Amino acid sequence: MAIRLLAPATINRIAAGEVIERPAAAVKELVENALDAGARRIAVGIERGGIARIEVKDDGCGIPEAELELAITRHATSKLTDEALVRIATLGFRGEALPSIGAAARLTLTSRPRGQDSAARIIVAGGAVGAVMPVAGPAGTSAIVEDLFYATPARRKFLRSVAAESSACADVVRHLALAAAEVAFRLDIDGTTSFDLPAQDRQARIAALYGRGDAQAMIALDAVREDVTLSGFISPASLTRASARHQHMMVNARPVRDPLLRMALRVAYREIIPAGRHPLAALWLEIPPESLDVNVHPAKSELRFAAPEAIRSLVIGAIQRHLATPAALGAAPSLRLEPARHRGGFFYPVAPSPQARGFAEAEATLGFALPPTLRRIEPEPAVAEFPLGSPIAQVFDTYVLAQAADGTLVLVDQHAAHERLTELRLRAEREAHGVVSQGLLSPIPVDLVADDVGRLLDAAGSLAQLGLVIEGFGPGAVLIRAIPAALGDADPVALVRDIADTLAEQGSAVGLTTRLDALLIRLACHRSIRAGRRLGLDEMAALLRAMETTPLAQTCPHGRPTVLKLTRSDLERMFGRAG
C-alpha cells in the first residue's frame, strides 16, 4: 500500500476521537469558547445527555461573517499569540474543537459580532461544510450540536446511559460556572432549568452550586509561596460527600481535573476523614505561565507543573493548616484518646481544646500522645463467652482496643463494623417485611441542583423500599418525610445528598437489584457511629457484643476485615522474642 495523506474530513474525525470524548467534552469546548469571547452571559441547553442536542449561547465578541468558515477549519484560531505555547491566556488555543465537533455531528454556528447589525450562519455536518448564509440573530454566538457521533458510530457505541452523559455534562458546566463566577450562567437539561445564576462573587457562586448550608460550613483558604498563590474554600472534616464530584480545581482560571491536585487533596484529608468519603473543595491556583504546560492533553484538563513537588506540598500544607484553625476545629475531629478510667489510665487523654490542638498537630503522624507513664494492664477476669473481650480504649477516635479472655489484643474499626451491622440489619428487615422507616416530626427540605432532584425523584420508589421517603419540593429541592429507623440519629440531609451522588454516578443503566444494593450500603454508612466519633466504654462494649452475635459482621461487604486480633505469640514474634 502506498503512503497517502488522509483527507481533511478523516483527519478531523480522528482528532474528534481525542478532543470530543463524550458529550460533556463538546459542552466544555463550546462554553470555553464563549468564555474566551468575553461573554457576560452564557446559556447552555442539553438534551438526551447531549447526544441529541447541545446548545451554547453567549453574548461575547462574536465571529465576523468572513471568518465563520475559518472558525470550523482545523488549526485555525484567533487566540494563540505566543507560538512558543508559554503565555496562554485563553482557554482554547489549539483550533481543534469546532472542526472536531463538525466532523462527528451536525454543528450550526450562528454569530453576530458586537457592533454589527446582522448575523451569519454556517453548518457543518459529518465534516461536510455548507455555505455561509446571512440570518437574523442577536449579538454574540450560538453553537448548536445535533446528533453527536452520528458520523463516528464507533464512538457512539461507547457512550454510557443518557442519565450518566447528562450528569457528566452538568458537572462540566458547574465546574466552568464556578471558574467564572463573574459570568451569568444558565443550564437547562431536557427543558428543565438546573440553574440560572447572575454574575456573582466566588462565595455566592459556591453557595448556589454546592447548597447554602454546605457553603456556609466551608473554610476560606489563602496561601502564598513565592510566586504561586492558592485560594478558595474547603470543607471541614465533618462535611464530606460520597463522591469527589464536589471538588473543583482551577489553575490560572482554567478548570482542570488534574491528578496531582486531586491526590494532594486526598492526602491532606487522609487522616481526618473516613475511608471512602470525600471533602468538598473549590480551589484556585495561580502560577506563572512559564511554570506550567497546559498542552498535555487535547482536552486541556490535565497539566504539567515545572515543580510538581512544590505545588503538592503547598496544597497539602495550606489545607492542613486551615483545617487546624479554630473555625475548622469546632467540627473537625481532633486526636483524642478515651481514657480507660476504670483501669487507672492506660493512655493519657489529649484534651480536644484549641490550645491542645497545636500539640495534637505535632503528634499528628504518631496518632496519639505518648503517656508520661505507662501503667501495667491486668487482664480482666476471663469472660469466655465474650470472644471479642472487654474494651480498653479508643484509638484515633476510630479503633476500639479490647482484650479478650485469653489475653488476645482485639482491634475493631468502629465505623466499618457499625456500617456492616447496620447493612446486615437493613438487609434482614428488607427480606422479612420491608425496611422499617421512621417518620420525621417535621419534614426536612434539602436544596439540590435540579438534575439531582430529578434523579432522586425517579428513584423515589426504590428509596421508599429502603425506608427513605422523599417527595418533590419545587424545582431545586426535595422534602424528606421518613428515614430508615435503623439509621438512628443519622443526619437526613447528608444522607440524601449522598444518595444523590450515588445516583449521579450510577446512571440509569444499572439494574434495580444492583441499584438497591448500592443504595442500601450507602444508607448503612450513615449510621451514627462514624470514624472520628468518641465512644464511651459502654458503647464500645455494645458494639463488640453485637459483632459477636453477627458472624458476618467480622468482614465488610468488600471482604476487608472489621476486626484484627493480635495473640500473645503474634506480639512475641513482632518484638523478636519468639525463638
CA–CA gap between residue 464 and residue 307 (Å, rounded): 51
Choice between 91 and 264, CB closer to ligand ADP = 91
Cα torsion angle, 475, 481, 487, 489, sign: positive
Regarding 98 and contact with ligand ADP (CB under 6 A), the answer is yes
Phi/psi of residue 25, nearest 5 degrees:
-70, -35
34 or 520, CB closer to ligand ADP? 34
Q: Which does residue 77 bind out of ligand ADP, Mg ion, none, counting CB within 5 to 8 angstroms by kind?
A: ligand ADP
Nearer to ligand ADP, 26 or 217 (CB): 26
Q: Is 301 in the site for ligand ADP (CB under 6 A)?
A: no
78 lies in the binding site for ligand ADP (CB under 6 A): yes
What SS3 class is residue 143?
A: strand
Site for ligand ADP in 124-183 (CB under 6 A): 141
Residue 300 interacts with ligand ADP (CB under 6 A): yes or no: no
Which of 127, 232 has the CB closer to ligand ADP? 127
Using CA atoms, how far residue 570 sits from 405, 412, 563, 573, in Å, is: 16, 17, 15, 5
SS3 of 164-218: HHHHHHHHHHHHHHHHCCCCEEEEEECCEEEEEECCCCHHHHHHHHHCHHHHHHC
Cβ distance to Mg ion smaller for residue 122 or 230:
122
Cβ proximity to ligand ADP, 111 vs 502, nearer residue: 111
List the grid coordinates of 418: 457499625
Any idea which residue has 463538546 for its cell? Answer: 26
**Of 446, 436, 432, 421, residue with least CA distance to 521:** 421
In angstroms, what CA-CA distances link 447 with 208, 277, 450, 461, 472? 10, 21, 9, 20, 11
Alpha-carbon span 402 to 338, nearest angstrom: 13
Positions 3 through 32 that interact with ligand ADP (CB under 6 A): 29
71 near ligand ADP, rule: CB under 6 A: yes
**Closest distance between ligand ADP and the C-beta of residue 70, in Å?**
7
Rounded to whole angstroms, how far apart are CA atoms 129 and 73? Answer: 10
Q: Rounded to an integer, what distance in angstroms lies between the CA atom of residue 99 and that of residue 76?
A: 9
* Residues that contact ligand ADP, how many (by CB under 6 A): 21
Using the minimum distance from each CB to Mg ion, give the nearer residue, 35 or 449: 35
What cell was used for 498? 449522598
Q: Does 94 bind ligand ADP (CB under 6 A)?
A: yes
**In this chain, which of 15, 34, 88, 490 binds ligand ADP, going by CB under 6 A?**
34
Q: Report the nearest approach of Mg ion to the CB of residue 107 (Å).
A: 13
Q: Name the minimum Å distance from CB 9 to Mg ion.
A: 20
Answer with the entry of ligand ADP, Mg ion, none that 265 interacts with (C-beta below 5 to 8 A by kind).
Answer: none
* Residue 520: how many other CB atoms lie within 10 Å: 21
CA 498, CA 387: separation in Å to the nearest integer?
35
If one asks whether residue 95 binds ligand ADP (CB under 6 A), the answer comes out as: yes
Smaller CB separation from ligand ADP, 43 or 328: 43
Does residue number 60 form part of the binding site for ligand ADP (CB under 6 A)?
A: yes
Quote the least distance from Cβ 60 to Mg ion, whole Å. Answer: 12
Instruction: Specify the 3-state DSSP secondary structure of 554.
Output: helix
Q: How long, in residues, is the chain?
A: 579
* 93 binds ligand ADP per the rule CB under 6 A: yes
CB distance 193 to 186 below 8 Å: yes
Please report whether residue 63 would count as binding ligand ADP according to CB under 6 A: yes
- Residue 25 CB, shortest distance to Mg ion, in Å, is 11
In the complex, residue closest to Mg ion by CB: 92
Helix, strand or coil for residue 576? coil
Q: 417: how many CB neighbours lie within 10 A of its CB? A: 25
> Residue 60 touches which of ligand ADP, Mg ion, none (CB < 5 to 8 A by kind)?
ligand ADP
Q: Does 484 bind ligand ADP (CB under 6 A)?
A: no
77 binds ligand ADP (CB under 6 A): yes
Looking at the Cβ atoms of 103 and 540, the one nearer to ligand ADP is 103
Closest residue to ligand ADP, judged by C-beta, is: 92
Q: Binds 34, which of Mg ion, ligand ADP, none (CB < 5 to 8 A, cut-off by type)?
A: ligand ADP
Distance CA 51, CA 166 (A): 9
Q: Which span sits near ligand ADP by CB under 6 A: 88-96, 178-186, 264-272, 514-522? A: 88-96
| Positions that interact with Mg ion (CB under 5 A) | 33, 92, 97
Positions in the binding site for ligand ADP (CB under 6 A): 29, 33-34, 37, 58, 60-63, 71, 77-79, 92-98, 141
